[in-house]
Chains A and B, each alone.
Chain A
Amino acid sequence: MNYRELVQRIEGRWPAQTRVRSTSNSTTEVTSPAPVLTELCRCIAQEWGFCFAGLIVEEEANAWQLRYVFYGEHDLSWVHVLVGAPLAEKVFPSVVRWIHAADWHEREAEDLFGVRFEGHPYLGDFVLHNDAWQEGVEPMRRGFDAQAAMRQRLPDTDWHPRRVVQELGAFVMPIGPKFSGVTESVHFQLETVGEDVIRSSTRLFYKWRAIEKLAEGKTVDEVLLLAERFAATTAFAHGLAFCQAVETLSACELPARARMLRVFLAELERLRQHAGAIQEICESTALVVANSQAGMLEEELLRVCGELCGHRYLFGLLAVGGLLSDLPTAACRKALGRSQEILERLNALQAQLRLSSSFLDRIEEVGIVSPDAARAYSLAGPVARASGLVRDLRRVQPYSGYEQLSFDVPSEIEGDGYARLRVLFAEAHQSVRIMEQAVSLLTDGPTCQPVTLRPDAALGWVEAPRGAAFHWARLGSDGRIARYRIITPSFTNWHSFHLAAEKFAFQDFPIILSTFDLSVAENDR
């Protein structure tokens, strides 16, 4: 579908109710009145095949603006559905009935802004835990005063899901927020009547640092530090998404060398992150030698990063307008050579894992996410691609020069733990392939370009190692960030995690968790 067809369909269906306009950056904005919103979103997502990216709430001087972001393939890239209302009106129709993926977005908006969504089945206690914050605190509002926000620090150790399985012998097993060896803080409640998990509930946001609030009023360079450092295992990807959002606000074309170096580093990070994910899967199945082997590969990749650009997690390299410093082509070649060698050992590891029946028994046919569920939850990244939902922003919405590169998007259909592991291995292979091409395309030239930014808002996106990430940045007239919104793949995928954990035995739980490769820091922001 192209732009004209979209305009015809929308105006044919809701004459004189909506306003469609094409903005820069291949984006179509549809302004819709609240009563039409649900049906419009249903059409866009279900009939016209767009993917739901996220919900961005903005508080303007005297009105709300809610922005539902969708993306499609090639011809028509981005559709933003806008709904406004005066600040006093805080009720909007909920779209979760048709777009299940919007569920957590609406819950978050309700918690942080105090806007309500009519028709949403379950709002409340989400980002702000009721045991740490009083009801009625709306921290993302403009007038929010952190000093005056009354906090009640009475622990609510009784937190439990709204409904609990009632059955003879049923019990709830709480896990976390501190559990196991070296894990991020997250709380699970597994309900069971014996061996199998009947229902699992996840409570997140123990690590909520209010990054989006923190960014407001800061300079672009300061916010770049936040973008890099809020989820450091995928630091480069998030930093890149933020840089691309801000660079959209200037008319400049980035130097070719900077674009290719960015691709090279992003793929190096993906390779390292996937090696780390594979190590965690081996660890969760208690396969000691494989765990050690994969752990060595991850450490070696960290050292490759450290040797190439100083920092093991690629911090301090990105700058708005390019890169903070140039990397010599010879050093990139060397890093590529090491990565190719590591990939060979990764392939050998995969070949050996494929023959280990004890390993396969534990990982095959556990944690299944069906293709339908993947679509309904609009999953992202390797988890989606293992369930047959082939979405890759590098392919459908290329950025930073990915359109010049040839690579495959690996996918599987089974949706179980083993399918996810195979996707990780296959993607590691593709990353090295992209790195090879990026190095061969490196031209001489500058790596940074001075940019002048105009006050406006823009969306930046990347296919981060864990999936699609979107950063929305609004620049105020003083050149400082007025609104920053991060939509991360872990936020998208945690939403569906309970599906995979249910109907499987307790001892499968750590394995399912590791095959999902979820980051809590990325979710909690």
Chain B
Amino acid sequence: MSQWVLKGIRTGIRSTVYPRAPESAPGVTPGRPRGANLGASAPALVGRCLTHALEQVDGRVVVEHRRCIHCYRCLRDAPSALDWENTYEWAGGGVTAAGPQEKLGPPFRHSIHVLVVDAGDCGACLNEVKQLNNPYYNMHRLGFFITPTPRHADVLLVVGPVTDQMRFALKKIHEGMPSPKRVVAVGACALSGGVFADSFACASGVANVLPVDVEVPGHPPPPLAILHGLLVAVGRKPSVPLTEPAQEAALAGR
């Protein structure tokens, strides 16, 4: 047994510097496309996007991150590629959390119990959530703990588009959580249904079933993005808009 203790000590601390400072190791994020002014070649690029995440507003291609599934069709082999940004602070405020909510007071800021529910996820989002417990991310140091029971949970983290056969269980879990509570939807499938959006056997996103407070786009969002989402949920980090100003103006104009 002592050899394990030694091994642990010799390994030292490997945790990321995030959120104190940005993490810059290669491969921690898949990155995502950034909107750009492409002029005449915009329609061709928008046409390559299979999940309709790209939209054309005048000559500008804007990205709806809730739909982007990192298929790289707008980067690889594309006539005029979009730039990719290697960021990971992606979480935004939810669209359906209507009305005033009970505030998460100071006691919650540094001790949050998270219940993770798989509502039809492909395994990647769940695997990235699992990585939060490995030494590189070590969510415990930030006061986040995974709990198996709704009764102890403050945050409900949902992955997957919510299949019909998980809908009832998900609702029951949400009802079983004490207030105040927050719902964090993780992954493009949980936000828009992703590639499963057209399926008759699942809802296209958690917001169709539960009020969502924080949305974490990405397919899957890397562990740092999920960590950012949790920090947003407890008010320790500001949220990031999920749509570009140009896109919002276009939506408002319709």
Q: Which residues of A contact B (CB under 8 A)?
A: 129, 131-133, 139, 146, 149, 151, 153, 155, 177-185, 205-211, 213-214, 221-222, 225-226, 229-233, 235, 276, 279, 287-290, 292-293, 295-296, 298-299, 302-308, 310-313, 315-317, 319, 324-325, 352, 355-356, 358, 448, 519-522, 524
Contacts and interface: CB of A to CB of B under 8 A. Distances in A.
Contacts of B28: 303, 306
Contact of B27 (A304, A324, A522, A524): A304
A469 to B, nearest CB: 14
Given A182-B130, A221-B50, A299-B134, A306 B200 contact: no
Given A207-B121, A296-B134, A151 B164 contact: yes
Given A293-B7, A521-B123, A311 B70 contact: yes
Given A214-B196, A310-B31, A352-B4, A209 B163 contact: yes
Interface in B47-88: 50-51, 69-73, 76-77, 84
A522 B196 CA distance: 14
Contact of A153 (B130, B131, B136, B168): B168
A303 B26 contact: yes
Decide if the interface of chain B is mainly helix, strand, loop or mixed. Answer: loop
A520 B166 CA distance: 13
Contacts of B202: 209-210
Interface stretch (B37-45, B111-119, B227-235, B242-250): B111-119
A295 B135 contact: yes
Given A225-B69, A521-B122, A289 B116 contact: no
Interface residues of B, number: 71
Contact of A296 (B118, B136, B199): B136
Interface in B10-39: 11, 14, 25-31
Contact of A206 (B133, B135, B166): B166
B182 interface: no
B205 interface: no
B30 A185 contact: no
Given A132-B165, A207-B121, A296-B14, 5 more contacts: A184-B126, A208-B165, A209-B161, A233-B124, A293-B11
A303 B16 CA distance: 13
B173 A292 contact: no
A226 B195 contact: yes
Contact of B124 (A214, A232, A292, A296): A232
B148 interface: yes
Contacts, number: 213
A290 B4 contact: yes
Contacts of A226: 195
Nearest to A315: B70
B1 A184 contact: no
A56 B93 CA distance: 45
A430 B249 CA distance: 55
B163 to A, nearest CB: 5
B200 A146 contact: yes
Given A178-B173, A298-B134, A183 B1 contact: no
A209 B203 CA distance: 10
Given A225-B50, A233-B123, A303-B27, A209 B118 contact: no
Contacts of B71: 225, 315-316
Contact of A312 (B1, B77, B222): B222
A213 B27 contact: no
B95 interface: no
B50 A222 contact: yes
A262 to B, nearest CB: 16
A311 B30 contact: yes
A281 B194 CA distance: 31
Nearest to A279: B134
A352 to B, nearest CB: 6
Nearest to B172: A155
Contacts of A520: 118, 123
Contacts of B30: 306, 310-312, 315
B146 interface: yes
B120 interface: yes
B134 A181 contact: no
Contact of B1 (A225, A230, A299, A358): A358
Contact of A177 (B72, B161, B166, B198): B166
B27 A209 contact: no
28 contacts: A177-B166, A178-B118, A181-B133, A181-B148, A182-B129, A206-B169, A207-B118, A207-B165, A207-B166, A208-B165, A208-B201, A211-B199, A225-B195, A226-B195, A229-B195, A232-B122, A232-B220, A287-B4, A296-B135, A306-B27, A306-B29, A308-B27, A313-B124, A315-B69, A316-B72, A324-B73, A358-B1, A521-B121
Nearest to A359: B4
B134 A295 contact: yes
B99 interface: no
Contacts of A307: 26-27
A519 B123 contact: yes
B25 to A, nearest CB: 7
Task: Give the 8 A-B CB pairs with smallest separation, nearest first.
Answer: A306-B27, A295-B134, A303-B27, A146-B200, A232-B124, A316-B72, A307-B27, A325-B76
A478 to B, nearest CB: 18
B122 A210 contact: no
A313 B169 CA distance: 28
A178 B117 contact: yes
B118 A184 contact: yes
Contacts of A214: 196, 198-199
B92 interface: no
B51 to A, nearest CB: 8
B217 interface: no
Contacts of B1: 356, 358
A210 B164 CA distance: 11
Contacts of B195: 225-226, 229
A229 B194 CA distance: 10
A295 B136 CA distance: 9
B30 to A, nearest CB: 5
A522 B127 CA distance: 14
Contacts of A302: 27, 131
Most chain A Cβ neighbours within 10 Å, of B50, B119, B126, B220: B126
Contacts of B160: 207
